[in-house]
Amino acid sequence: MPFIMIIKFKNTKLYLLKYSKRLIKLLQIELGRNRNRRYRSGNVSAPINTSEENLSKSFEIKFKESPSSFSFNILGLKYGMNVNDGRKPGSPPPVSEIIKWIKKKPVRLRDSEGKFVRRDDLTINRIANNISRGIGVNGIQPTNFIDDAIEQSMEGLNTIG
């Protein structure tokens, strides 16, 4: 009888590995598709990904096994949960992180009057400080990209039963 149990677990492991890979694909798809977000300054319909797609490329599967159990965990960059869940108004995020984000984004910067400005360090610093304060005051809306990917992947799991 133990031989049959080993085969069943082997098939289960293979299935869960394929499921985990599919979930990562769905997460990447969700990051790349246009999402509508509303802000005080206006509506945005754009993908979540940065130009370098760091979050999308960061997903990996960690497999753990013990004599009596095994698990598959999907890991990614820490800020992915903040992108999914949003951020409530309160303390502003670190300006240094926003500076990194601005430097990665392929956008032309504008001032408060809508005029394009140069992308030098002083301007990026000033804009990052303004963004940080704005996030502290207004928060950030959730994107729910993880929730959407999991919901899609669960449709496949529901057929197992």
Once rounded to an integer, what is the mean pLDDT over residues 32-50?
A: 80
Q: What's residue 60's pLDDT? A: 96
Once rounded to an integer, what is the mean pLDDT over residues 49-57?
A: 74
pLDDT digits (tens, 9 = 90+) for 70-110: 889 999 988 889 889 988 999 999 999 889 888 877 778 88
Q: What's residue 95's pLDDT? A: 95
pLDDT digits (tens, 9 = 90+) for 115-140: 998 889 999 999 999 999 999 998 88
Q: What's residue 41's pLDDT? A: 73
Each as own residue / partner, the long-range contacts of residues 52-59 (CB below 8 Å, 24 or more positions apart, any chain) are: 52/104, 54/104, 55/31, 55/79, 55/80, 55/83, 56/27, 56/28, 56/31, 56/32, 59/24, 59/27, 59/28
> Does the structure show a pLDDT above 60 at 36?
yes
Q: What's residue 100's pLDDT? A: 87
> Does the structure show a pLDDT above 90 at 12?
no
> Does the structure show a pLDDT above 80 at 24?
yes
